[in-house]
């Protein structure tokens, strides 16, 4: 009987985590499926739909690089006030720089964004609020 109660408790806890997940601080997961290391990784917060209107204090630089075949999950430390967008900028080891929107609209910096980098392109799946 205690095994059944424990099983139900575990299932209930997992459902709770899945329900709360979109409301946690924004997390970005980068899947580097390319043949190149990703460097100079930074996130920035902009307002008004203009990537040149970056607010002071709204830039987060990562110290880590992402080797080929590796993943990195992080929560960017950005200051939000009102309607904003989150951009991810990085350079690959060939010297090519990418600037991708990872959260097109947010007021709370919550949810998840998944970035997949291949040799051919970069795809972003946004689940942010």
N residues, the chain: 129
Q: What pLDDT score was predicted for residue 122? A: 98
Report residue 4's pLDDT band, with 50, 70 and 90 as the boundaries.
confident
Give percent above pLDDT 90 in the chain: 56
| Residue 47, strand partner residues | 84
> 33 in helix, strand or coil?
coil
Q: What pLDDT score was predicted for residue 95? A: 96
Report residue 17's pLDDT band, with 50, 70 and 90 as the boundaries.
very low
pLDDT above 60 (res 14) = no
pTM (predicted TM-score): 0.76
Inter-CA distances, 123 with 17, 26, 33, 78, Å: 26, 18, 11, 22
pLDDT above 60 (res 78) = yes
């Amino acid at each position: 009987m205690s095994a059944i109660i424990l099983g139900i408790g575990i299932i209930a806890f997992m459902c709770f985590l899945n329900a709360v997940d979109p409301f946690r601080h924004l997390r970005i997961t980068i899947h580097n499926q390319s043949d190149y290391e990703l460097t100079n990784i930074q996130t920035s917060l902009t307002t008004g739909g203009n990537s040149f209107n970056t607010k002071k204090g709204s830039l987060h630089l990562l110290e880590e690089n992402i080797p080929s075949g590796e993943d990195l999950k992080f929560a960017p430390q950005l200051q939000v006030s009102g309607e904003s967008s989150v951009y991810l900028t990085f350079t690959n080891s060939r010297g090519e720089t990418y600037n991708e929107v990872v959260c097109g609209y947010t007021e709370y910096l919550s949810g998840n964004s998944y970035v997949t980098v291949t040799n051919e392109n970069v795809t972003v799946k946004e689940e942010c609020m």
